[in-house]
């Protein structure tokens, strides 16, 4: 869920939260159940020009048990009709795998992109 307020007919500023249910599972020797749920708050800003909207958001630290996570989302939308939008989400995520870097852990960075259609009511 998110909400953005439009300033000066072009600038979008807002915030929201994503509800995440993380599950994972099996090892070769036994079942591991580290499933957890969390609300991950974020803040964002963007621009809108006519039918094109682009918003970048930063996920704030939450109780999601991901060590030192840094996550940015860049969502671009093109309005095809009043209720139908073409979307292009890009996600950049960086987190700590294992212990802190000073204790031998390492930082992992991942980027994802996609495309889709969004229905707006």
How many separate domains does the chain show? 1
Q: The domain containing residue 15 runs over which residues?
A: 2-119
Q: What is the pLDDT of residue 30?
A: 54
What is the C-alpha separation between 103 and 106, in angstroms, rounded? 9
User: Please, what is the Cα angle at 18 between 115 and 5, to 5 degrees?
Assistant: 80
C-alpha angle 95-98-101 in degrees, rounded to nearest 5: 75
Average pLDDT, the chain: 81
For residue 17, the model assigns a pLDDT of 87
pLDDT given for residue 63 in this prediction:
63
Beta-carbon count within 10 A of 57 CB: 22
What residues contact 81, with CB distance under 8 A and at least 6 apart? none
- Give me the half-sphere count of Cα atoms (radius 13 Å) on the Cβ side of residue 64: 22
d(C-alpha 101, C-alpha 108), whole Å: 11
Has this prediction a pTM greater than 0.85? no
pLDDT score at 114: 92
Cα–Cα distance measured from residue 80 to residue 103, given in angstroms and rounded to the nearest whole number: 51
Distances (CA, A) of 101 to 70, 90, 95: 15, 27, 11
User: Which stretches in the chain have pLDDT values below 50?
Assistant: 26-27
């Amino acid at each position: 869920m998110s909400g953005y307020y439009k300033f000066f007919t072009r600038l979008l500023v807002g915030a929201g939260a994503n509800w995440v249910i993380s599950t994972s599972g099996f090892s070769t020797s036994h079942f591991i159940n580290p499933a957890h749920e969390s609300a991950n708050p974020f803040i964002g800003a963007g621009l809108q020009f006519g039918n094109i909207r682009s918003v970048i958001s930063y996920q704030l630290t939450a109780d999601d048990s991901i060590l030192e996570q840094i996550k940015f989302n860049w969502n671009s939308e093109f309005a095809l009709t009043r209720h139908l939008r073409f979307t292009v989400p890009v996600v950049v995520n960086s987190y700590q795998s294992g212990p802190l870097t000073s204790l031998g852990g390492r930082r992992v960075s991942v980027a994802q992109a996609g495309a889709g259609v969004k229905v707006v009511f």
